[in-house]
Chain A
Amino acid sequence: MLLYHPAMVEVFVERGNQLADSRRLMDNDPQYASALALVSIHCAIALNDAFLSKVTGRHHRGEDHMESVRVTRKQCSSRRIPSDGVKHLEDLVRAKTRVSYSGERTTIEVAMRLAIASERFERWVRPLIKT
């Protein structure tokens, strides 16, 4: 018996795919530094929601995305899944407030650094969300 709804996981995967494609399109383009940073962060959040939906049947709904990082770590620990990829999600979530709401302009270097973190998280999580 499946503990999750495949359709729900699929929604998050699709969202993550679109954001990953956008990230690739804007890669290394200084004209889109802020957008690149934002899609990088949200791509990882969407793919993590796919992972949590699959393993728990639920995804994170609150404003505090760091809580979803904690839940992910806990799930990895209880299922003996190597959690080395989760640190990239944590870096992205930590950067989210600054990139989304602060008055500071996002540089292309920071955006690229976030894009790389997003890619690394994606590499870690993809095999775990295959249906």
Chain B
Amino acid sequence: MGTAIDQDMTNVRAIGRPKINARLRHGRAVNAVADFLRGHLRVPNVYLEPKSALWKGVDVVAADGAGSGDIHAAEVRFLSYPISLPAARALIEEVKNVPAHFKYLTVNKNSVSLTLGDGSLMFSPDGIGRVGLLMIEETQDALLSVELAVKPERFRLPPTDAARVERFLDRAKPDMFVRI
């Protein structure tokens, strides 16, 4: 895509780059991650910042196969300082506790790096499941791109969590879905 604002097509004269506060920045990242998942899954139902205790800390939930398939959940965290291995471990553990089959941590690419050690902390203790890592990069045109840096591997979803997720899917209306 070209520039974020086409000055020939609009009457808006953008002066420099838009000033984006933390809330706007986070919201744009949530949208970018949702678009990424929509492009990589099979017409998923997508929920943005779902208002449910089930999804505490989760910014995007995508139920694959129009809501009938695996659950993908992503947390978005903009990092502005170097984080240590213990802090990275705590962040990853938080994502591991999310009730989903595929779990993603999303961080900003052009920030200070996230310390992952040898990467083994991304795996479930039983080896069934690996947290995926998405990187968000802001381009010169203030556009966001999302890149998959670590491919997720499917976690088991315990039956009690599966039941809670089903109840959420039954009552919540998705923000993005395909109408037929």
Contact = CB atoms under 8 A, between A and B. Distances in A.
Given A112-B178, A113-B180, A117-B180, A28 B42 contact: yes
B86 interface: no
A67 interface: no
B32 interface: no
**A interface, how many residues as a size bin?**
10 to 19
Nearest to A123: B68
Interface string A114-131: 101101100000000000
Interface residues of B, number: 8
A113 B45 CA distance: 10
Contacts of B42: 28, 112, 116
A28 B39 CA distance: 11
Contacts of B68: 116, 120
B150 interface: no
A76 interface: no
B176 to A, nearest CB: 11
Contacts of B27: none
B135 interface: no
A68 B173 CA distance: 29
Contacts of A114: 180
Nearest to B67: A116
B144 interface: no
Interface in B21-66: 42-43, 65-66
Interface of B: 42-43, 65-66, 68, 178-180
Interface of A: 28, 91, 94-95, 109-110, 112-114, 116-117, 119-120
Given A95-B180, A113-B66, A116-B66, 8 more contacts: A28-B42, A110-B178, A110-B179, A110-B180, A113-B180, A116-B65, A117-B66, A117-B180
8 contacts: A91-B180, A95-B180, A109-B43, A112-B178, A113-B178, A113-B180, A119-B65, A120-B68
